[in-house]
Amino acid sequence: MPARQLPRWRRAFAEAVGSGLLVTAIVGSGAAASRLTPDDVGAQLAYHSIAVAIALAVLIAVFLPVSGAHLNPVVTVLAWWRERRAPGAAADAGCYLAAQFAGGSAGAVVANVMFELPTVALSSTARTGVGQWVGEVVATAGLVLVIGALSRTGRTGAIPLAVGGWIGAAIWFTASAAFANPAVTVGRVFTDSFAGIAPAAAPAFIAAQFGGALLGAALVRLWWPDRSSSRKERHVRT
């Protein structure tokens, strides 16, 4: 969890706005790309991935000193687990999760309105299959690995660009196009556009994302153990 200099409601509001703007960037860039190059799916994906990578990096840089810029329920859950004994950690996590899901859904509505799509329309895009689920595991595990590695080695200033770069690349090299975020997944249910995902497909994506988060967290702990873990290991060896 971030340092608690601001009241919880202000930090949660930052998570809602950040998550909303992220989904707006995802849905909006997909809609714009579809209109600019309607017959070239490769170009659509290129425009979309560049816009998402830049928007994500900027949003993390903006909200990092405010709320920690989780903007993702898997990041919040892992942060809560790490600091679960700290006073207020559970309340922070609960508020963050509610804000992220609400903000993500609102962000899709905003993008729909901007591009004169139906304000709320459930997606008809079926995203399913082992390949796509594995893609979500890989994308989310890599996301957690990037954040954990940079956090534990004192390079938090590199997180915005590194996370934006990872997701921008993973949009291309994963079969699922790297949702890697349950709040984003739920938000994308509410747009029947380039970026949408059918409601029936969302639960499997979310399950894969949490599975990937656990894998990423295990790798972080293996390669960059925290100080308490290091002390325990030294005690066992002696």
In the structure, what pLDDT confidence band is assigned to residue 238 with cuts at 50, 70 and 90? very low
Q: Is residue 3 part of a domain?
A: no
Question: Residue 2: inside a domain, yes or no?
Answer: no
Give the Cα separation of 192 and 197 in Å (integer).
Answer: 8
Q: What angle do CA 130, 204, 49 make, to 5 degrees?
A: 75
Strand boundaries in the chain, DSSP class E: none
Residue (of 194, 202, 205, 198) closest to 47 by Cα position:
194
For range 217-232, the mean pLDDT: 77
Q: How many domains does the chain have?
A: 1
- 237 part of a folded domain: no
Q: Does a structural domain hold residue 233?
A: no
Q: Do 89 and 83 form a contact (C-beta atoms < 8 A)? A: yes
| pLDDT band at residue 226 using 50, 70 and 90 as cut-offs | confident
Domain presence at residue 234: no
Whether residue 166 lies inside any domain: the answer is yes
What does the pLDDT look like over 147-201, one tens digit per residue?
999 999 999 999 999 999 999 999 999 999 999 999 999 999 999 999 999 999 9
Domain that holds residue 170: 8-228
Structure tokens belonging to residue 38: 């309607």
pLDDT tens sequence across 22-33: 999 999 999 999
Q: Is 84 part of any domain?
A: yes
Tokens found for residue 82: 């790490």
- Looking at the domain assignment, is residue 235 inside a domain? no
Rounded to whole angstroms, how far apart are CA atoms 31 and 114? 10
Using alpha carbons only, give the angle 222, 224, 227 rounded to the nearest 5 degrees.
Answer: 110
Task: Annotate 1-21 with DSSP letters as a single string.
Answer: -----S-HHHHHHHHHHHHHH
Task: Identify the band that residue 4 occupies on the pLDDT scale cut at 50, 70 and 90.
Answer: low
**Residue 122's CATH number:** 1.20.1080.10
pLDDT tops 70 at residue 2: no
* Predicted local distance difference test score (pLDDT) of residue 162: 98
How distant, in Å, are the alpha carbons of 19, 30, 48, 126, 154 from that of 218? 26, 33, 31, 31, 19
Phi, psi of 10 (to 5 degrees): -70, -40
pTM, full prediction: 0.92
CB 11 within 8 A of CB 100: no
Report the percentage of the chain scoring pLDDT > 70. Answer: 93
